[in-house]
Structure 1
């Protein structure tokens, strides 16, 4: 809110603040604007309402002032009048229909304002006009919340008498009694309790009114709530009791009251902290701590991370409280979960007085903490020199290492405090001592750019060229981390060797390049030319893998986008086309990452643009196109030596345009097209950029290609157009664009691929209903073109009922009996795959249930042979399929179900058979269903066949009965026949069975055992035994030719 000076305001506003009604009337008579607004949108009526002058308010309203005008905080004049507790002003405003439900930006109504400002008489005027006194503001608080918070007893009483909900809660689930308790309004708390408020209610974090009163130290409310019998040890969502909260806030009077009333002084919260932990840490907890200790609090109680109250005093530096805890028996060297003692913690945070107290009480200065570090390590690392002195004076061995071999001098060098470092050096610390990683203190000082420490260590004689386990010197680390170059410069001046390589072959130049430190590179170059350091960098960089880096500094700077470092490097290194292991140049990496400045630097210095890598044979132009870096593309193509660079092909024949479309980079696509990229270019599979857009579904890229007259009918090596690809992948938007472009062609050629499949086949097969609908809107797809395996076959074989229904509705019901190359109808396909919904759809359109294919098989036979029980049940029950029909090998559906061991299917068929002739029907091998069922061990089926009168004496072409058909081979069958003949001598009237010596073949080779469909290429792995398409691979298919091969034929 802005406070304005009266002398700078309009005359009308001056008259209002002067409370001069006559002057106001005179100014209004002179046409002064009664609705004028200041810069906060406050009107003269707001001012009059704030002052509470009823006469001026009435005059302004009668002169046209808007009674419900809102300022920029959405406050109305009624809000202002109520805030000023002006009953007369409120009455006048209400008389002129002021909105009692108006809300400000905090959603507060005039009643909220009245409740917060103790405007009881104003509230009395407002309440009768309100339909609801429980309206909440943005924080969910009602007028009762505001009255309770402000402690206005009379207002609370008024609101309760007018129906205010005493247990209404705000957005934190806090009720009026929470706020009254927190503010210590005891009379309001009593009034609320007497009217039925829940005294033990909880907010969202389970704070009770007792928690609230305890936190703010309201002892009278605490006593009153305890007298009402609330649970003194009730935890909140964090496990904190009222005692925890009181201790944390240093409310010693409340703590004393809670303890006297029986609060558990050792109750822990969710993290295992007791009230004593809180008093040890809080700013005002000294008296609370004394009260807890005197009343049995455990001074050695540990939290879940094993911290004691003494640890807490060490963290926060509570010196006097640490003494009190120690005097009451605290363990000095207790360890937390990291092994740190209070002395470690005090050293870490630099609490010198606490360190004195702990050492005086015989704390172990040689105790190991986290990573085996001593307190002196932590003090040195954190840079507390006075603490270091205290710890050194206790006789500690200064060169004792931690678990990682680091001494205190390592810690001081890493921490960067010169006083600590000098103290340790003067005490005799070994400055060349190496840790477990082979690093000296100088390595740490250089890595952390601690110039003063580095200066002191070198001045003390530290070796500047010592190698760590990775083969790095301090100069390597300085090159990687030193932005201003001071540390690196000092090391170079003290004979640091920039040519030393680490275990991977990288020297300081590589490190500075990788981190983009131009100044470091310039300093190194001023000492030794970079080309000398790199030992004639270029292609030689890969000659000796033992000593040379796998990539050059140019690669590192280019990849990470450090163009300033690159500028230094290109001035010294001769070969800008140096390659890494994959044959990629620095320009390739810069273009791939989209670092325009690096690309510009390298091009200006003569880097080759059209050089190809070793693996994919791609150029930097391909790299930029793959990731959609349009600006890099502009630079590369604009500076290429060849005009045809925009269409340069990689090892798979792909152009930059193809890669941009494949990855959906629309801006790059337009950039390439504007540079003249050819839209008709083909890769080695005959696919164009448009094929890729159709597969990936990038509509904007496809639109760009079509705008540049891309041929949507171009065919790849499989004979597929972009229309095929879009339909197969279900990209409706792309398909729509292609079909719209097709309108420019007077007569579309037949869109069948090399295997006879049209886009409609593909869309139906993959179940893309929207694409099917779009294709059917085109007359050209109404004609039967291509493979006899029709789109309807494709739809039903993959249970795409929606596509199938659209085909029937559009092309007519006659298509349900269309036959493929093996005379199979869509009903055969649906039965083969057990797609009941599609079966029902086809049957509802009069599909011929008993039609046979080239091998004499009906849909029922196909379902039975493949064990498709749902299809079998539908066909024998609802469709009334003819069970007497036989295939070319004279097998019935029952024969076929038994031959494949499909017991459930066989039983479903048997359930509908009552004719004994059909039960004993024989196939071309003279086998009855009983022969076949017995041979396959179908016990339940055999039992049912026998019950229905199946003959046990029927013999097949080999002379075997069903019993002998159970034999696993010819010899066993012959033996079994001989045994049976001996056991049961034949009647003179019955000729003995003659056992043939020819091989007994229960499943002779016949047409029924080698039925195949027409040659169909593979599309999916499912149902390959029936028929399938060749799958359209998505992205990888453009690069892997072997994935696109079609199998010659599939059998089932």
Structure 2
């Protein structure tokens, strides 16, 4: 201590600390009593503010208190290079050894569920006459150590439970120390060193049946199953086989042991019995299943579902068995132990019969029906997917439908959703059977229609129309109709609107000839002709016009959607354009969306025949929404008819940029000579300029021509030059003033030293956000 004031107290402090082994609190209390040591404001202030001498030394250097934590961290930090680098060479004759870590000693309570459960097969000396003592004594069939293979399988299983760093050792070699570490991580030990002894026994294939059984039961009771790199189903199957193999080898699969296990009212025992029962069911080990049922196992408990055809996470054993090939004996076994044939996990009607139907298990269907299984709506909905040639005995499906209707004979039910799957599968025979039963099919169902990228409501007839099966449409024509279609509003869509949008002229003719009121089909989001025109079916459009459907919407100042004529023009459907014009379609409507008018749409597509036809019958409104001119011929036509100058005045730079981007040099030079480059209004942030378009397509001639005509050089133009054409950068910078942060950033990112030098020499300001 440098401070001479401490010399008075050094010997006293040394005596208390070193010789009498006092704690700091005791030293402070004694010094306060003897020398009146007390904290004062002056001391606190000195500690906080004064540059006092520090008593902390790191690597021989005295450290200021404010730097202690940071310095300590820096000295204790191990760099990645140091960690992975080679160790320093050891001098000859020296041995370097790392002392083992003392580790953490954990003492587990004897009241833990697992510790309590272990008394079943490892009882104390006082429990010699208890059932658990008998269980422990008979826990192995032959009294010898389990097979070498079981030791190996258990070690392999343990090695996959912990995400180890892979070691470069020989294949199928497992480390005893890693096994011990895994056991220490996963499960408690009754006494210190138990895991070390067990891991050594496993690695040397000397582990006994009790040891292996103890580990396996602990793992399954805590749901510690290995997934490794396998698929979901493969991992569960492997775990099931391991559990049942060890159970069989240790003699725990007989009735006596299972009765004692099931009689234990411990949470661990209950968890183990559930997992054992599930494994036995999934592996079709019906000897164990029968023993467990006879011992009082609940036949309606849930197990993990591995039925591919089902989306449920869990199911009952009876549901699982009903979907397998070995169902005949098993179903009778479960029903004889009062398994509920009508149980469903979520009360959604997906009972055992449903599982039998979706897996086409005819044997299970017959047995379950014989045991009084209820035919739910989910059952019959699944059954409707089967056509006569899909299943050996189609009478089973017909029988299911008959039972379903007999159950519902006393109440009215809408069968629209029930029959949806049959319609989707074009299952005519099932539809006919429902109709023969007098099913009510007037309900609405929701369906996604890719043509309109949205979900709509429609009738079963509309759903059948969307599928395109005219035979089913004919069957449903007079039974799947809404009483008052005019009351239906979006998102409802009528069968006729669907047929028109799909281009099914035969179904349209059938629907139109049925006598139903189809006026509502023309009142939705789009008219029938607007839906039909994109399919380019002239006969269909003629059919709809002949039946008096709308050619145009009601007149208004601006139309919210493109008309049938505008759609036909944009798709260059000359015959349909002529048909609509001859049917007196309006020619000069104004539309909310670009290009804003029918004549403008014709200009953008550049079809001279359509343009001439429209103008000849009175199309005059072109508007100012044209975003591009298709070709030079169209531009000359616009000039000859007096439209070009107004378009150039309104959006000349946009039209010129579009022509340059399309690399139509003839059109671009034509527009340039007509002064389309002149900016008469402030451009939007997203609007592409002609100069930028020319740089993007590397058209040097247009770049120079635009610069000669005074084109404004922007930050975007400089950025494009920096990235792709540095040779043009001096020319662009000649008349540039201001900042170009994006161009500077591009030069840095592209490591363009030339670009940076040119920008610096031109005194381009670097301020601003790129």
For normalisation by structure 2, the TM-score amounts to 0.48
Structure number with larger C-alpha Rg: 1
Where relative contact order (Cα < 8 A, 6+ residues apart) is larger, the structure is 2
For normalisation by structure 1, the TM-score amounts to 0.37
